[in-house]
Amino acid sequence: MMKIGSRRAFIQKMGVTAIGAPLLSNVSDLMAMQKMHDAAGTLRVAIMGLGSYGTRVAKAMQTCERAKLVGVISGTPSKIAEWQKTYDIPEKNCYNYNNYGDIKDNPDIDAVYVITPNALHAPHTIGVAQAGKHVICEKPMAINAKEGEGMVAACRAANVKLLVGYRMHFEPHTLEVIRMRKANEFGKIMFFQGQSGFRIGNPDQWRLNYDLSGGGSMMDIGIYSINGARYMIGEEPIWVTAQETKTDPVKFKKGIDETIQFQMGFPSGVVASCLSTYAVSHLDRFYLNGVDGFAEMQPSTGYGPIKARTHLGRMDQPIVTHQTVQMDEMAKIILDGNSPEVPVDGEEAVKDLRIIDAIYKAVKKGKKVML
């Protein structure tokens, strides 16, 4: 039975006056109202793809205030059973890749986070949208811009939101650098450098399978420097040039880029010089230079802790679990209609995909490609 004190607190929380309180005939009615309130304020999420990153997101969601893991979609029955036990997921919220369309009849799931290999993002996102559920898709959202545009159109037609896992768009150090740039604390921006890379291991993993990944380092780690250049500079690029280096053609087969150096030009004259690689470790650095100051982040996009400094000294923003903050903020976007400082919607993701398309084209042609 609910205690009087907690009952009174709940009534006050719900905005019910003392005069209106007697209308709540019994504790059952009160509990029903509490359940409705909780449901309205919590984004109930199913994760599709129970690999290493899906596991990281699931663990991070345990401390979310506005998002809750309630379901799973996987092609591996043993993983489903393990997640059910670990996260207390009911059988009715468990699906596989053949029957996940049935979530349309499940009112306990609001959104699905698609964390499958890149080439599966489009069909899975469209399938979820057609089932009437909001979609959160891991980046890169698709393997090319045309595919991404189709995903945006499908979600719009189904009247569901399409968000993308740009966790850095909510990271405190990142947001402070953006604030400083908008406040002109760096002066006129002149240059950006983005370095994104690590030495990839198992040669049999899906990231090195073109049919699943759609590319190599650029489709995995390189997107961070592309997206980071855009939000750090605050402009959209108008041209790209790019050069590819491949030292191990056995491991990095046709279509799988090992290392790409690329440059982007922006309307104000700013140039971004970036590196994406699967061959060099400890590359995780952003550097933004203006006539009056600079910002350097290293690590800049890793899982943390992010470390940064500016011409004013060391930055000391809060250290957060990126995926926890991301999911809470995405709940606010979907449930409350919030607009984040840096967009995380499908249209934002298509902009990155157009740049990736242009980079691959520049590598092939060996010359500047206009956007």
Structure tokens at 59: 């663990």
Q: Which of 100, 113, 224, 278 is catalytic?
A: 224
- Output DSSP code: residue 215: S
Active-site choice (95, 100, 133, 139): 139
Distance CA 348, CA 354 (A): 10
d(CA 180, CA 175): 9
224 is catalytic: yes
> Cα(299)–Cα(282) distance, rounded to whole angstroms?
9
Cβ neighbours for 73, distance < 8 A, ≥ 6 positions apart? 46, 47, 48, 49, 94, 95, 96, 97, 100, 112
Instruction: Work out the angle at residue 227's Cα, subtended by the Cα atoms of residues 320 and 69, and round it to the nearest 5 degrees.
Output: 45
Give the whole-angstrom CA distance, residue 332 versus residue 25.
32
Q: Let me know: does 161 contact 136? Beta carbons within 8 Å.
A: no
Q: Give catalytic residue positions.
A: 139, 224
